[in-house]
Structure 1
Amino acid sequence: MVDAPGFDGVNPSREAATPLRFAGLVLDLDACMLARESGEAVPLTRGEFAVLRMFVSRPGRVISRDALLDAFANRRFEPFDRSVDVLIGKLRRKIESDPKQPRLIVTVPGEGYRFDALRFRPPQIVELADSDTTAKPNGPSPPRLSMVVLPFANIGGDPEQEYFVDGVTESLTTDLSRISGAFVIARNTAFAYKGKAGDVTQIGRELNVRYVLEGSVQRAGGRMRVNVQLIEAETGAHLWAERFDKPVADLFDMQDEIVSHLANRLGQELVRAEAGRAERVANPDSMDHYFLGLAHCHKGPTAEHLDQARSHFDRALELDPNNVGALVWRALADLWWVSSWLSEDQQERFRSAEADLRKALKLRPDDANAHNALGYLRILSNRAVQGISECERALSIDRNLANAHAMIGMGKYLAGRTEETEAHVVEALRISPRDNFAWVWMYIAGRAKVYAGCDEEAVVWLNRSIQLNPNTPVFHFMLAAALAHLGRIEDAREAARAGLELDPSFSSARLRRSMTFSDNPVFLAGRERAYEGMRLAGVPEG
């Protein structure tokens, strides 16, 4: 769970704050209470208190509607949404002497609202915020996965390109908001910084975010160059950078490709950054363990990494049984044990994964990763058609979920529709070409090609997969099968030897016992063809 800035985010270790007094009112931030000086309590809703907390921490400053909406709701709104105005109206009726002529919460037309209580008791208010707008070290710490996408710079100032530049910024803001647990500053707030040279560390303090994404777009002749960099707001350190240099074709198609690519890469880079932070924490909490587990998963499905990942997810769920991310990824760790032939207790792994995923979806019905993981579970447990449908549902929630395309491709060959697999893998790679799991997707395409008898194409896909991750034995054995069917026996035997060096106890009989993912006759025929190729390459049979 990600706390909204300015609410429940105050560092619990700091000393208790002195109650604030203004306009005949007493505000106790630690106790979350507002009262009149007579002692009469002024009841506030969670949203009203969150907004008041933000106001008193930024006295005399104009705060936009979007920033206030982010503070009390932590969700996106339509451009003309007026929920915050309704909230401000209710708050005014509780704290203003004349709500129709407010003196404490003043409307600034076209900009937002300003808290003018400084004119009443300035010393107490100044304790919460410096006059130069920089945040106090003891203020609310930025939420995890919190970021702002600053308006991209239009290098060269071509006015005809401006809509494309702004479109990339807006679309990226929207797509990053779909990352589970992410808090992304709303577009209108971010665009207040357009055209201004700002210090990212100060922007981070002003918006209370951990990360700042900035970029630029430059057009030269028939080519478009886009530069992007992710910065840690607290230190100003550059965490990641990417450059796109592409011929200009359809600008909307190009925008979609750039945004989907960036959204996937940023999701992975943010996990890496959060895991690095978690390693430095003295007493990691549930989310710290979640990110540490996720980082181990991203290293690949080996027994060592999956053991470490699962232990972190177990700990995360001990600390917070409703941590949806940990539930989903613990389920995926179990499924990878099965799909990587690391476990003999398939049914127990399936039962554990399904229990975790059902709980996750009960807590968060529209979690795209949970639907995708449930699809993967059904694909692996001989329910490919149902699994494909679940993955398609995940894509309807998050169009950038590249792994869902690859899982659909896997489901297709298990359902006997082997010729359709490659297109889904290609789409996954188009959306996220440098994905942490691209090597798995390439293996899926290569294996489907072996089953279909397209061995030349299988060799290309499998070699690409092995280049990215040479440490998975079955990849080498599948390559050996394809090479053997092509008559390249020496190359096939070399591939088999590489696999056996990684797993000396491997045999095609063991693989046959564990590969019970489908009883489709087309799939079974393809699987037998793969086994025959392995036999020709010298892979042990028993």
Structure 2
Amino acid sequence: MQPSDARYGLTGRVVRLPGGTVRVLTALRDLADGSRHLWGDAHDGTVEQLPQLQDRIAHQVVRATRQSIDAAEMDSARRKPPGSLRAHDLVLRALPFILAADPTSARAALGPLEQAMGLDPDDPRPVALASWCRAQLLLYDGTAHPDAERVLARQLADRAAALDPCGDPLVLTARSGGAIAANRCDQVDALLARAGAVDPGFGWVWERKGWLRAIHGEPEAALACFRRAMQLKGPRAPIANCLAGIGKAHFVAGRFEEAARWMNRALSENPAAVWLNRVLAPCYLAFGEQQSAARSLDLLRRAYPGITLARVEAALPGIGDSRCDDTQGRLLEGLTALGLPA
């Protein structure tokens, strides 16, 4: 029997099948929404295998339950009427836009986040996430005022830190964006390490760790982080930025055809992430696809009129850090060779 105030219910049962085989059925339901089915699975094994089967099921249930509840909470917040939204609901509404990783989505997220800050000024989550959105506008060349955006990102990150003495993993991860905007790679490392220590199962932490490793020129470590992030994110979470990160890691490793393949997968998931052509165009050039490289650069210039090498360099994270400069320098050399003006 479920407690009367429970929002979600997890059930399981064992069915005996012919030949000494058993099937374990698990299901998660949203009890507050008409017992709506959120997730379920079935595992087969023999009676003798039950201890090992139990361990495998427990591991999967923990991961799948979190993924399903996160998706259900965001869906519930999306369907609430505007007049009933709390700060928590507004944060949930903003999250899919924040994780999409493109300037248009970052701007769309800022509206509900600013509203959430007005409703609950002491909540560090909307403040930290707004810092990350400002950092995205800077990193993806989505602002005409990069210096002002950099200052805003840093100020919001500092404010979130003051509001979050205990270290919420979401806040710590989002604050890393303000540190990236300030080109403080060591601080990004520290924030993500702390977030991962508090919650090793938080997929966004692993995604951000992957990007940091790629920026630092550690492609294999980056790929391991992105694979972990993809496992933890769940089937309904935005994955374009993970796919792009895998592409960036292959680019760093010099596997340019593989890098282009993953970048194109990312663009298929999120066509608004046109900024990825900053990497895709040099990829094509590196393995001799001159026409594809020119087409990719043309898409970038159409989306960002007046873009120059100086603007790209200003937007790249880690410039000025010796661990990062070699990695980003290869990208700038490719764009130079393709004729992007200085």
- Measured in 1, the distance between the counterparts of 2:194 and 2:234 equals 22
Taking a change above 3 Å as real, the CA distance of residues 294 and 516 of structure 1, as seen in their structure-2 partners, is: closer
Matched AA of 1:325 = R
Opposite residue 464 of structure 1, the aligned amino acid is: R
| Match for residue 192 of structure 2 among 378, 383, 391 | 391
Please report how far the alpha carbon of residue 260 of structure 1 lies from its aligned counterpart in structure 2 after TM superposition: 1.8
Unaligned runs of 5+ in 2: none
The residue type equivalent to 1:260 in the other structure is R
* Matched residue, 2:73: 270
C-alpha distance in 2, partners of 1:412/1:349?
25
Change (3 A) 1:261 1:488: farther
Residue 302 of structure 1 and its aligned partner are, at CA, apart by 4.1
- CA displacement 1:108-145 (0-9 Å, x = unmatched): xxxxxxxxxxxxxxxxxxxxxxxxxxx9xxxxxx7xxx
Task: Find the counterpart in structure 2 of residue 410 from structure 1.
Answer: 211
Q: 1:319 aligns with which of 119, 122, 135?
A: 119
1:283 Cα offset (Å):
5.3
* 2:224 paired residue number: 423
* Paired residue secondary structure (2:14): strand
Residue in structure 2 matched with residue 154 of structure 1 by the alignment? 14
Q: Secondary structure at the match of 2:173?
A: helix
CA deviations over 1:168-196 (Å, ceiling 9, x no partner):
xxxxxxxxxxxxxxxxxxxxxxxxxxxxx
Residue 358 of structure 1 aligns with an amino acid whose one-letter code is A
Displacement of 1:265: 4.1
Aligned-residue RMSD, C-alpha: 3.3
1:231 aligns with 2:30: yes
Match of 1:331 in 2: 131
| 1:193 aligned residue | none
Alpha-carbon distance, 1:469 to partner: 1.0
Q: Check 1:247–1:429 CA distance in 2 against 1; reply closer, same or farther (3 A cut).
A: farther
Distance change in 2, residues 1:443/1:303 (3 Å): closer
Question: Secondary structure at the residue paired with 2:7?
Answer: strand
**3-state DSSP class of the match of 1:312?**
helix
453 and 232 in structure 1: CA distance in 2 versus 1, 3 angstrom threshold: same
- 8 Å CA contact retained: 2:216, 2:327: no
1:309 paired residue among 90, 109, 112: 109
CA contact 1:466–1:476 (8 Å) conserved in 2: no
Q: Using a 3 Å threshold, how does the CA distance of structure 1 residues 433 and 291 change in structure 2: closer, same or farther? A: closer
TM superposition score normalised by structure 2: 0.82
Q: Retained in 2: the 8 A contact 1:405–1:424?
A: yes
Q: Note closer, same or farther for the CA distance 1:490–1:242 as it changes in structure 2 (3 Å cut).
A: farther
Contact kept in structure 2, 1:414 and 1:520, CA below 8 Å: no
| More deviation, 244-253/320-329 | 244-253
CA displacement at 1:405 relative to structure 2: 1.2
Task: Report the TM-score when normalising by structure 1.
Answer: 0.54
Cα distance between partner residues in 2 of 1:229 and 1:347 = 43
Give the conservation status (yes or no) of the 8 Å contact 1:384–1:414.
no
Q: Is the 8 A contact 1:290 1:326 kept in 2?
A: yes
1:243–1:508: structure 2 CA closer, same or farther, 3 Å change rule? farther
- Counterpart of 1:332 in structure 2: which amino acid? W
User: CA contact under 8 A between 2:203 and 2:229: conserved in structure 1?
Assistant: yes
- The amino acid across from 2:241 in the alignment is V
Question: How far apart, in 2, do the equivalents of 1:244 and 1:150 lie?
Answer: 12
Deviations 1:454-477 (A, max 9, x none): 213312321221121121122123
Deviation at 1:438, TM superposition (A): 1.8
Preserved contact between residue 455 and residue 486 of structure 1 (Cα < 8 Å): yes
Q: Distance in 1 between matches of 2:336 and 2:241?
A: 24
Per-residue deviation, 1:498? 3.3
Quote the Cα distance in structure 2 between the aligned partners of 1:388 and 1:466.
27
Distance change (3 Å), C-alpha of 1:487 and 1:320: same
Correspondent of 1:480 among 275, 278, 281: 281
Q: Could you say which residue in structure 2 is the equivalent of 1:360?
A: 163
* Structure 1 residues 350 and 326, CA gap change in structure 2 (3 angstroms): closer
Q: 1:371 to 1:287 in 2, by over 3 A?
A: closer
1:449 is matched with 250
1:377 alignment partner in structure 2? 178
Amino acid at match of 1:270: E
From the superposition, tell whether residues 342 and 357 of structure 1 become closer, same or farther in structure 2 (CA, over 3 Å).
same
Quote the Cα distance in structure 1 between the aligned partners of 2:8 and 2:84: 28
Q: Pick from 491, 500, 524: which aligns with 2:292?
A: 491
Q: For residues 394 and 262 of structure 1, what CA distance do their matches in structure 2 show?
A: 20
**1:281-330 alpha-carbon deviations (Å, 9 max, x no partner):** 435443443333335435x3444433342222222222221123322322
- Equivalent runs, 1:51-70 vs 2, <5 Å: none
CA contact (8 A) 2:256 2:283 kept: yes
Gaps of 5+ in 1: 1-63, 68-134, 136-141, 163-217, 220-225
Q: Secondary structure at the residue paired with 1:405?
A: helix
1:29-108 aligned at under 5 Å gives the runs none
> In proportion to residue count, which structure has more helix?
2
> Contact between 1:296 and 1:308, CA under 8 Å: does it hold in 2?
yes
CA deviations 1:219-263 (Å, max 9, x no partner) are 5xxxxxx664543625x273x644557897964356424532441
The answer on whether the counterparts of 2:157 and 2:178 sit within 8 Å (CA) in structure 1 is: yes
Q: Quote the offset at 1:404 in angstroms.
A: 0.7
Residues 351-388 of structure 1: CA deviation (Å, up to 9, x unaligned):
222233213313xx131111222334334433323322
Evaluate the alpha carbon distance shift between residue 464 and residue 296 of structure 1 in structure 2; reply closer, same or farther with a 3 A threshold.
Answer: closer
Letter in 2 for 1:461: W
